[in-house]
Amino acid sequence: MIKTIGLLARKPDWTHEQFMKHWMEIHAPLAHAVPGLRRYVQNHILDERTRADITALQLEIDGVAELWFDDRAALEAAARTPEMQALHADGALFIGRIRSYVVEEKTIVG
Domain ranges in the chain are 2-46+60-103
- Contact between 101 and 4 under an 8 Å Cβ cutoff? The reply is yes
What integer pLDDT is reported at residue 41 of this predicted model? 97
Q: Does domain 2-46+60-103 have CATH number 3.30.70.100?
A: yes
Query: Mean per-residue pLDDT for 4-28?
Result: 97
- pLDDT score recorded for residue 110: 86
For the chain, give the DSSP string: -EEEEEEEEE-TTS-HHHHHHHIIIIIHHHHTTSTT--EEEEEE------BTTBPPP----SEEEEEEESSHHHHHHHHTSHHHHHHHHHHHHHEEEEEEEEE----S--
Q: Is 107 left (phi over 0), alpha (psi -120 to 50) or beta?
A: beta
- Over residues 37-95, the pLDDT tens digits come to 999 999 999 888 889 999 888 889 999 999 999 999 999 999 999 999 999 999 999 99
Strand partners of residue 101: 5
Instruction: Supply the pTM of this predicted model.
Output: 0.90
pLDDT tens per residue across span 21-40: 999 999 999 999 999 999 99
